[in-house]
Amino acid sequence: MSEQAIGVFDSGLGGLTAVKELIKVLPQENIVYFGDTARVPYGTRSDKTIKAYARQDADFLLSKGVKLIIAACGTVSSVATELYDALPVPFTGVVVPTATAAIRATKNGKIGIIGTPATVNSSSYKTEILKRNERIKVYQQACPLFVPLVENGFISADDPIVKLTVERYLSEMKGEGIDTLILGCTHFPIIAQAISDYLGKNVTLIDSGKETALYAANILGSAGLLNTSNTLGSCTYYVSDTVDGFRRTAEVFLGRNVEYEVTHINIEKVSSGLRAKS
């Protein structure tokens, strides 16, 4: 069992920020990643569509025999919460680990949350924070333009478009005096520098990908599912749009040049095939 892979999915490439951390924390684990690059973004879609896509993505990973599934996507984690009970293997999204880390980090009790419109409308992070500490003040802001900026490679902290967009979305929150900001979408760590430059170094940024990787390690540990082999694990990547597009941008997310196998799949076809079999 322990040599089975960890399945990770996102609407696109953002989930690779979680994969990067998983490789650091659990280097011996095999990872199967699915990025739904043909249907990104999810964050501006209806709950019904997000739930349907999330189920197809999870079913695809199940067909690869994974032992744990991580929705490395703030949007799916916030909206498709039924996955917690629906899957035959352990599952985690990014909301609980990230909210918990933000509560640990804040000193003045003022936490900002940024995410996609679907995530912010769901108030998922806010609910998890207030469940644990109702005295914390929470400020939320949807930042839909961050996702296409990142997916199209506008990521430099010096880029005027990035700077302007960050300022436009975060000026109100900056005025509220938050000391902690949840990057509630896994695409956002890629522009963390621009966000930090604008908010100042006294604001701690919480990276949902990173916190979730640590949380997943705990789940596997407690379930006795850690891969105990001494060899480095492999990473296999699947995308629903072009493989070339993935190769060009993946390095930015993974933070290093990696050897990897990338395969294109038609997620709708694959998942309807899976449904027909079950």
Q: Catalytic residue numbers?
A: 73, 185
Residue 124 within binding range of ligand DGL, rule CB under 6 A: no
Instruction: Determine, following the binding rule CB under 6 A, whether residue 147 of this chain makes contact with ligand DGL.
Output: yes
Closest CA to 209 of 16, 62, 51, 24: 16
Query: Tokens 């760590």 correspond to what residue?
Result: 189
Region of 9-17, 123-131, 153-161, 228-236 interacting with ligand DGL (CB under 6 A): 9-17
**Using the rule CB under 6 A, which residue among 10, 57, 207, 211 binds ligand DGL?**
10
User: Which residues contact residue 29 at a Cβ distance below 8 angstroms, ignoring those fewer than 6 apart?
Assistant: 5, 6, 22, 220, 226, 227, 233
We find the least distance from the C-beta atom of residue 184 to ligand DGL, in angstroms, to be 7
Min dist. Cβ of residue 175 to ligand DGL (A) = 25
| Chosen residue from 92, 124, 186, 240 binding ligand DGL by CB under 6 A | 186
Rounded CA separation 101/96 (Å): 9
Phi, psi (5° rounding) for residue 202? -80, -5
Going from the C-alpha of 1 to that of each of 24, 41, 63, 172, the distances in angstroms are 21, 34, 15, 49
By beta carbon distance, the residue nearest ligand DGL is 43
Assigned token pair, 221: 């540990």
Per CB under 6 A, contacts with ligand DGL among 18-77 are 40-43, 73-75
Point out which residues bind ligand DGL (CB under 6 A). 10-12, 14, 40-43, 73-75, 115-116, 119, 147, 185-187
